Amino acid sequence: MQGNFENCLAVTLGHEGGWSDHASDPGGATMKGITLATYRRYRPGATKTQLRNIPAKDVDAIYRAGYWEPVNGDRLAAGVDLATFDAGVNSGPARAKQWLTASIGGPDHETVKKLCARRLGFMRSLAIWNTFGRGWSRRVAEIEARGVAWALARSVDSAPTREQLEKEATAASSRSNKQTVGAGTAGTATTAGGGDALINPQHADQIAGWVLGGLLAAGAVVAAVLIIRAIIHRQRASAYAAEAERVVS
């Protein structure tokens, strides 16, 4: 949406965080989501130290030229712009635009949800999901909820916006609980205490570590998938509940 770049950037930077130089991250040294290679295209010869101390004006310029403009952020509806922009930052503007094109149809808040679902499906197919998966899914959940909140706010008053967000939270929580219970009957964990984690929603994060670490027996594959889905929907429920609380009556 025209004039919404700074708002979207603020949300995205909140997820990108600060300095990172993780050995498992193919992007290498990163500051506020900007890799050294990207910064060197903007500032030839830049060092890691310069990247770590990147000025705000450079951050703004890189994100605007590299991601916002390529996804035509100014032309997108509120909420849809955030979902598309943030996806572009993580996975490239071209892929984000493909997800957007495949998601268009119906109200804007539904477009946001469908785009985020496609984005998450792609992330789960990546080999480094085992390392970054839980953080990624939490980010997508929060982007989805914020995008839906922005989209609803453009079409309805605050009361129905909050009501819809609360409904989304309830629906996501219900799906999470059902999938957690379903996992308990679909397979048995091989690690001590695994059975309890499979049927207890409060232990979902614990079993997630086992799932992502590959410590479940082959016969528990279905349970593993259900547990991952349960965690994702629990993250969505939390994100939607938080957005509902942000709505001013």
pLDDT confidence band for 196 (50 / 70 / 90): very low
84 Cβ contact partners less than 8 Å away, ≥ 6 residues apart: 71, 73, 76, 96, 97, 99, 100, 115
Instruction: Give the torsion through C-alpha atoms of 101, 66, 90, 34, to 10 deg.
Output: 180
Q: Is the confidence at residue 215, as pLDDT, over 90?
A: no
- Asked if residue 237 lies in contact with residue 176, where contact means CB atoms within 8 angstroms, the answer is yes
Q: What pLDDT does 220 receive?
A: 61
49 Cβ contact partners less than 8 Å away, ≥ 6 residues apart: none
- Percent of the chain surpassing pLDDT 70: 84
Average pLDDT of the chain, as a whole number: 87
